[in-house]
Amino acid sequence: METSRRTAPQAVTHAVTRNPGGNPEALTEARFRRLLPRAARYEVADPATPGLRVRVLPDGRKIWSLMYRLPSTHEVTRTTLGVFPTVAKASAAAEKLRARVVLGEDPNGQKRAARAAKAAEKKAGTVADLFAEFDRAWLAHVRPVTADGWRRVASRLILPRIGRRQPRSLSQADVREFRGNRTAWEALRLALNWAVAEGRVDANPCLALPRRFDPARRCAGTRRARSAKRLGLGQLRAALPLMPPHVSLVGVTAVREHEARSARWADFDLEGALWVVPGAFTKTGDEHRVPLVPAALAVVERARAANAAAGLAASPWLFPGSGTCEVCRLAGHAPKTSSKTSARAKVAAGIIDRGVIHRIRDTAKSWMSDAGVPASVSERVLGHALAGMERVYDHAEMIHQQRAALERWSAALLASPPALPEAR
């Protein structure tokens, strides 16, 4: 037995029409203007346009709506058209919407989907909200100086431009402009990667774009890397005496400047000739074990004597100083070398282009390569994180090999310049 399916009546647009006083007269322009507000809202249908009706509210507003039947489900529904000053304009809007329904569209369904998407975007927040959560969840675990750099570029470059945007609405065109600033690009890329992992966005538009590629700049950078980065040993010998004491420790051990100026007596085993830099003071976050060759032990003893002469023998720092460090946020150790001090040393040593301290490490690495020191040893000397599968499987410290490499390097660095050959 065939069951009957409940559907709305075919004459629904007329059956539910409620005219004032039950009068089925046509809704003319004159009659529309005469519709006055009452204590309760009421509706008036327009027989000339099936399903079209106007709702008169107690505050005097007249809002048009349309009743229509979905062809796919035969469901009868109402959608609001809005406020129109004349019947003709409301009828024209109703006919346009009815044409969309005939083509299979569901205006009410589209409105519901738009409201749901807007609610989801509101819940997701803006790019500024995303960066605030990224800061709390991720930047708290990186070095303070790195986190501060990303916060600066976010507040100065990223958020003023796209801070009010919805994260899901970002496209490649929106993020392309940040490729020129490496720090801003990395901060935005990592923040959006985090947002993808958290389900805040579906994709990261940065991943489809490489960093800005400039062939001329790249070639020039390669030339500088081969010619200007590496310094002569004579230049280093001339520059080191003009630099702060901790830079001498950088020179003979090839550690990073912050590792040297934040050196603590408690981290030194002078009998075993070994310095263990805690992970809190290294760039990689890993402990860095540095062999102390005779030249390094001499720097340490000079620091001890200088501290005693200055009445700072009780200081826990090898190189005491004032102020709070911008890297580790600790107070009491030597500050970062000033640009004026570096400039004077560069002029005296005939150094051009980039700075001095990091180029000590460049020069040490290049010299060790020329001297036949394996890369696996020189990378450990510099405290670099090993890459790829080598980091997974190779856990050797190579202390003896590092010590031999640093002895050769420090001997070459501190050696007196050879005498010039006699002219013939």
Q: What is the pLDDT of residues 232-290, one digit of tens each?
A: 888 888 889 999 999 999 999 999 999 999 999 999 999 999 999 998 888 888 899 99
For residue 9, pLDDT beyond 60? no
Nearest of 305, 210, 319, 140 to residue 150 by alpha carbon: 140
Which residue is listed with tokens 């399916």?
5
Domain 233-414 top-level CATH class: mainly alpha
Residues 6+ apart with CB under 8 A from 76: 8, 12, 67, 68, 69
For residue 321, pLDDT beyond 70? yes
- The pLDDT assigned to 212 comes to 58
- The pLDDT assigned to 369 comes to 93
Can you tell me the mean pLDDT for 45-69?
Answer: 88
- HSE, CB side, 13 Å, CA atoms: give it for residue 212: 14
Q: Which of 59-63, 79-83, 147-151, 415-419 has the lowest mean pLDDT?
A: 415-419
Can you tell me the mean pLDDT for 26-42?
Answer: 88
Task: Look up the pTM and report it.
Answer: 0.59
Nearest of 240, 201, 225, 255 to residue 345 by alpha carbon: 240
- The pLDDT assigned to 270 comes to 93
Annotate 253-322 with DSSP letters as a single string. H---HHHHHT-BGGGEETTTTEEEE-GGGSSSSS-EEEE--HHHHHHHHHHHHHHHHTT-TT-SBSSEEE
CATH T-level topology, domain 12-121: Double Stranded RNA Binding Domain (3.30.160)
Listed by start position, the domains of the chain span: 12-121, 125-208, 233-414
Domain 125-208 top-level CATH class: mainly alpha
Which residue is listed with tokens 């329904």?
101
Q: Comparing 125-208 with 233-414, is the CATH topology the same?
A: no
**What percent of the chain is predicted at pLDDT more than 70?**
86
Q: How many helices (H) and strands (E) does the chain have?
A: 19, 9
pLDDT tens digit string along 171-191? 888 888 888 888 888 889 999
Max intra-chain CA distance, the chain? 128
- Check if the beta carbon of residue 381 is closer than 8 Å to that of residue 405: yes
Can you tell me the mean pLDDT for 69-92?
Answer: 85
232: number of Cβ within 10 Å: 12
